[in-house]
Amino acid sequence: NAGVTQTPKFQVLKTGQSMTLQCAQDMNHEYMSWYRQDPGMGLRLIHYSVGAGITDQGEVPNGYNVSRSTTEDFPLRLLSAAPSQTSVYFCASSYSRLADYYEQYFGPGTRLTVT
Amino acid sequence: RKEVEQDPGPFNVPEGATVAFNCTYSNSASQSFFWYRQDCRKEPKLLMSVYSSGNEDGRFTAQLNRASQYISLLIRDSKLSDSATYLCVAAGYGGSQGNLIFGKGTKLSVKP
């Protein structure tokens, strides 16, 4: 199993550009989520999904969209990049939709810089 | 906002030392707790879950004190490879998902 994979590993965007961060898992996990991690801050939840076709907002959803058309994939779209979105983005999955009680498996992260 | 607070450190300890981290959480409704380990520029990985009765995994012991709303992690006989940031997580507020709250992490540096 590859686990949770994320692409790209690094990305530089100009303000106003849009892009999609890809996330895939091959563990048949129900729950998937996106976090951002900034210096001096804990991981903050952006969006999450408890199954295909179901998504919901986390703590910091503004400026981001998600969709979950398959169990495996959970892409994160930046609609119009802003310097405040410079961060490290982690995708995570958990085998149960009762994700609060089970291990989160994280992808390797995408380091995004917005200039 | 629900909070999880940790001492950011760094904790600089010699090999073989015993080191303890504490973490406090603000929401008494939290039902599940974890310690994750994060190496520099890597993703977090689960170190251990924290159970009400306390639990041990080799050199690592986790304790939960619900009355005082804190969680602890004890590392005995520290190894160089234990150098990392340790993230405290509180979750499970009942009902909705996506309620894992991560602390900012405590940095540990184990020196020869």
Average pLDDT, chain B: 91
* Average pLDDT by stretches of 10, chain A with 115 residues: 94 97 95 92 91 92 97 97 97 81 91 97
Nearest chain A CA: its distance from B14 CA (Å): 25
Nearest chain A CA: its distance from B102 CA (Å): 5
Gap between the Cα atoms of A6 and A34, Å rounded: 11
For residue B21, give the H/E element and its range.
strand B19-25
Q: Quickly tell me which residue has 């917005």 as its tokens.
A: A114
Q: What angle do CA A40, B41, A11 make, to 5 degrees?
A: 95
Q: So what's the pLDDT on residue B3?
A: 87
Q: Residue B108: CA atoms inside 13 Å, Cβ hemisphere, count?
A: 29
B57-93 pLDDT, tens digit each: 999 999 999 999 999 999 999 999 999 999 999 986 6
Gap between the Cα atoms of A101 and B91, Å rounded: 7
Q: Is the pLDDT of residue B95 over 60?
A: no
State whether residue A95 sits within 8 Å of chain B by CB: no
Nearest CA in chain A to B94: A100
Higher pLDDT: A95 or B17? It is: B17
Are A101 and B103 a contacting pair at CB < 8 A?
no
List the single residue in B36, B49, B97 with the smallest CB-CB distance to A31. Answer: B97
Q: Considering only residues 4 to 23 of chain B, which have any Cβ-Cβ distance to chain A shorter than 8 Å? A: 4
Q: What percent of chain B has pLDDT over 90?
A: 77
Q: So what's the pLDDT on residue B105?
A: 95
| Contacts (Cβ under 8 Å, ≥6 apart) of B1 | none
Q: Are B108 and B85 in contact (CB under 8 A)?
A: yes
Neighboring chain B residues of A45 at a CB cutoff of 8 Å: 98, 100
Report, in angstroms and rounded to the nearest whole number, the Rg of chain A calculated over CA atoms.
13
Are A56 and B103 a contacting pair at CB < 8 A?
no
**Integer distance in angstroms from the first to the last C-alpha of chain A?**
36
Gap between the Cα atoms of A59 and B45, Å rounded: 21
List the single residue in A56, A90, A100 with the smallest CB-CB distance to B100. Answer: A100
Q: So what's the pLDDT on residue B92?
A: 66
Nearest to A99, CA basis, from A38, A58, A42, A53: A58
Q: So what's the pLDDT on residue B33?
A: 92
Q: So what's the pLDDT on residue B27?
A: 85
**Integer distance in angstroms from the first to the last C-alpha of chain B?**
40
